[in-house]
Homo-oligomer: A and B are copies of this chain.
Amino acid sequence: MERRPPGSSRPTEPGPCLSGQRGADQAASASLQSAARARPGRHPLAVAAVLPAGGCGERMGVPTPKQFCPILGRPLISYTLQALERVCWIKDIVVAVTGENMEVMKSIIQKYQHKRISLVEAGVTRHRSIFNGLKALAEDQLNRKLSKPEIVIIHDAVRPFVEEDILLKVVTAAKEHGCSDCDLEFGTECLQLALKYCCTKAKLVEGSPDLWKVTYKRDLYAAESIIKERISQEICVVTDTKEDNKHVSHLLEEVLKSELNHVKVTSEALCHAGRDLQKIILDQCYNFVCVNVMTSDFQETQKLLSMLEESNLSILYPVVVVSVHFLDFKIVPPSKKMENLMLIREFAKEVKKRNIWLCGLLISYPQDEQKLQESLREGAIIIASLIKERNSGLIGQLLIA
């Protein structure tokens, strides 16, 4: 069976397939969505996208063209493709890359399992690249590999944060207004190219601040921080079904909630073949805290790691797993358990290959209620920083709260 990242299933028929990342926008764009989904009595609008990606990134000050610069290990262009792929009514995505980057681009598509992508060779200018993309869409009608588009979205490969609602606005505007003389005069040459070679109408639509373009090195930094922030919005605390473990998990969950405003903290048991946990994984939670009480073994953590490995959740983003061990440091000083705990280095090395970043965390588990609250708080701060910063240098480390 083909393995796909969860949440990335792409229905062949248009339907509600907005990603969950911007829940508040969903209602607002619901009415717009119908525009692209289907027109009464007619077939749904055929939409394609062309991404000019032949630039060399001179202003970036780095040797790699900016569209291939890695963010959390994945090239920038893959984030842009992901943003477009989530929009199920975009039937084809044509990417124009230079001959020398053709193989790199093919391996990116394969590694990150992008779908509906065709590649064409970029031209010497951005507009020539767009032309090549449009030509491919126009000429492919005999092969029937690509759908004949009524509307073509021209989208920069280095604008990774494009949302479905803005794409819908573009498509709706194109459908309603067509391509006026005014657009041709004040718009860019792209609009003329679209009209000339595809008989396809286009219009200039104002973008949102989210639509910014990665131009300078500082934009790459900003993009990385935004992506880190987006995938740190949810933490799932998991443990087995023992009463004591559930109690401690609950305490940690509460402290995490109070320390991390705006972060959704859920908890799940590692039982019933983990069906609830499977749902969390499908819903794209990228952060897991596995709670172990008075034990230094990794049985539960390993169960969780197996589930994550099978899920393919980590194809697009690194998944952070913190194996938390509550130990009473007075009865068992951390040093006594060190030998066993050091095994985490081996597990971490193994799952790192699958883009799962494992760390260990010992939390002091004193009898005294107030002291326990203090060590829980310290633990929560460390968990928060591991998740927010996603520092790959700390993989396999054992931290102490």
Residues on A close to B: CB < 8 A? 59, 209, 212, 216, 218-219, 221-226, 333-336, 338-339, 342, 345, 381-382, 384-386, 389, 391-394, 397-400
Q: A193: shortest Cβ distance to chain B, in Å?
A: 29
Contact B216 A219 (CB under 8 A): no
- Expressed in whole angstroms, the Cα–Cα distance for A333 and B341 within the complex equals 13
Assuming A222-B222, A342-B400, A381-B393, what are 20 further A-B pairs, CB within 8 angstroms?
A218-B225, A219-B222, A221-B224, A221-B226, A222-B225, A224-B225, A333-B339, A335-B335, A335-B336, A345-B400, A382-B393, A384-B393, A385-B392, A385-B394, A389-B389, A389-B391, A389-B393, A391-B391, A394-B394, A397-B397
CA distance A219 to B219 in the complex (A): 8
A122 CB, min distance to chain B CBs, angstroms: 25
- Provide a sorted-by-A list of 21 A–B residue pairs whose CB atoms are within 8 angstroms: A59-B209, A209-B216, A218-B222, A218-B226, A221-B221, A221-B224, A221-B226, A222-B222, A224-B225, A334-B338, A335-B335, A335-B336, A335-B339, A338-B338, A382-B394, A384-B393, A385-B392, A385-B393, A389-B389, A397-B400, A398-B400
Closest chain B CB from A207 CB (angstroms): 13
Measured CB to CB, the nearest residue on chain B to A340 is B335
Residue contact A399 to B397, C-beta cutoff 8 Å: yes
Residues of B within 8 Å of A333, CB to CB, are 338-339
**Cα-based distance from A385 to B357 in the complex (angstroms):** 15
Prevailing SS type, chain A contact patch: helix
Residues of B near A342 (CB, < 8 A) are: 334-335, 400
Q: Smallest CB-CB separation from A399: which chain B residue? A: B397
A282 to chain B, nearest CB (A): 29
Nearest-neighbor residue (CB-CB) of A59 within chain B = B209
Closest residue on chain B to residue A329 by CB atoms: B342
CB contacts (< 8 Å) of A336 on chain B: these are 335
Contact residues in B for A216 (Cβ distance below 8 Å): 209
Closest to A393 in B: B385
| Contact residue among B338, B385, B391 (Cβ-Cβ distance under 8 Å from A335) | B338
In the complex, what residues of B have CB within 8 A of residue A385's CB?
A: 391-394
Closest to A215 in B: B209
